[in-house]
Chains A and B, each alone.
Chain A
Amino acid sequence: MMWALVLLPLLGAALTWLVPDNRRRAWVLPVVSLAHLAITAALIAEAPAASPGGWILLDALGKLVLAGNSVLFTVCSLYAVGYLAYRLKRPNRVLCASLLVCLSATSLVAISHHLGLLWIALEATTLTMAPLIYFNHNARSIEATWKYLLICSVGIAIALLGLFFLAYSTIVARQEVTLLLPTLINNAAGLHPGWRHAAFIFLLVGFGSKMGLAPLHTWKPDAYGEAPGLVGALLAGGLVNCALLALLRVYQIAVASTEGALFQEVLLVMGLVSMAFAAVFMARQSDFKRMLAYSSVEHVGIITVALGLGHGALFAGLLHMINNSLTKGVLFLSCGNIHRAYNSKSTQFVRGAIRRTPWSGALFMAAFLAITGSPPFAPFVSEFLIVSSAFGQGNHVTGALFLLFLALIFIGMASTVLPVVLGEVPKDLERTRYRDAFPTVFPPLILMGIVLVLGVWIPEPLRVLLHDAAALLGGEA
Chain B
Amino acid sequence: MNSLADQLLVLCLLINFAVLGTSRLAFSVRSVAVQGVLLGVLPALVHPFSWHLAFIVVSIILVKGGLIPVLIIRAIKKAEIEREFSPFIGYIPSLVLGALFTSLAFIFAAKLPLAPEHEGLLVVPAAAATLMSGFLVLMGRRKAISQVLGYLLMENGIFLFGLLLADAMPVMVEAGALLDLLVGIFVMGIVINHISREFSSIDTSRLSALREE
* Co-assembled chains A and B: yes
A residues near B, CB below 8 A?
Answer: 116-117, 119-120, 123-124, 127, 130-131, 134, 138-140, 142-147, 149-150, 153-154, 157, 160-161, 164-165, 167-168, 171-172, 177, 179, 192, 194-195, 198, 221-222, 225-226, 281, 290
B138 at the interface (CB under 8 A from A): yes
Query: Is there an interface contact between A149 and B112, defined as CB atoms closer than 8 Å?
Result: no
Query: Is there an interface contact between B162 and A164, defined as CB atoms closer than 8 Å?
Result: yes
CB contacts (< 8 Å) of A143 on chain B: these are 207-210
Task: A141 to B44: give the CA distance in the assembly, Å.
Answer: 44
Task: A179 to B154: give the CA distance in the assembly, Å.
Answer: 22
Proximity bits, B178-193, A CB within 8 Å = 1, else 0: 0110011001100100
Knowing A168-B164, A171-B164, A194-B113, say if A117 contacts B173 (CB, 8 Å).
yes
**Which of B21-29, B70-78, B89-97, B194-202 is the contact stretch?**
B194-202
Task: A192 to B111: give the CA distance in the assembly, Å.
Answer: 12
Q: Is the interface of A mostly helix, strand, loop or mixed?
A: helix
Proximity bits, B160-185, A CB within 8 Å = 1, else 0: 01101100111011001101100110
Query: Is there an interface contact between B113 and A172, defined as CB atoms closer than 8 Å?
Result: yes
| B109 smallest CB distance to A (angstroms) | 11
Task: A44 to B127: give the CA distance in the assembly, Å.
Answer: 42
What 3 A-B pairs are tightest by C-beta distance, nearest first? Answer: A116-B173, A177-B168, A120-B176
Task: A413 to B165: give the CA distance in the assembly, Å.
Answer: 49
Query: Is there an interface contact between A120 and B151, defined as CB atoms closer than 8 Å?
Result: no
CB contact list, B82-139 vs A, under 8 A: 111-115, 127, 131, 138
B residues near A, CB below 8 A?
Answer: 111-115, 127, 131, 138, 144, 147, 151, 154-155, 157-158, 161-162, 164-165, 168-170, 172-173, 176-177, 179-180, 183-184, 187-188, 191, 194-195, 198-199, 204, 207-210, 212
Knowing A116-B170, A161-B131, A194-B112, say if A171 contacts B165 (CB, 8 Å).
yes
CB contacts (< 8 Å) of B157 on chain A: these are 161
| B13 smallest CB distance to A (angstroms) | 17
Query: Contact partner of B154 among A139, A147, A154, A281, CB < 8 A?
Result: A154
Query: Contact partner of B158 among A138, A161, A194, A221, CB < 8 A?
Result: A161
CB contacts (< 8 Å) of A168 on chain B: these are 115, 161, 164-165
Query: Is there an interface contact between A142 and B195, defined as CB atoms closer than 8 Å?
Result: yes
Task: A198 to B209: give the CA distance in the assembly, Å.
Answer: 36
Query: Is there an interface contact between B176 and A117, defined as CB atoms closer than 8 Å?
Result: yes
Report 19 cross-chain contacts, Cβ distance below 8 Å, ordered by A residue.
A117-B173, A139-B199, A142-B195, A143-B207, A149-B184, A150-B138, A160-B177, A161-B127, A161-B157, A164-B158, A164-B164, A167-B168, A172-B115, A177-B165, A177-B168, A192-B113, A194-B112, A198-B112, A281-B212
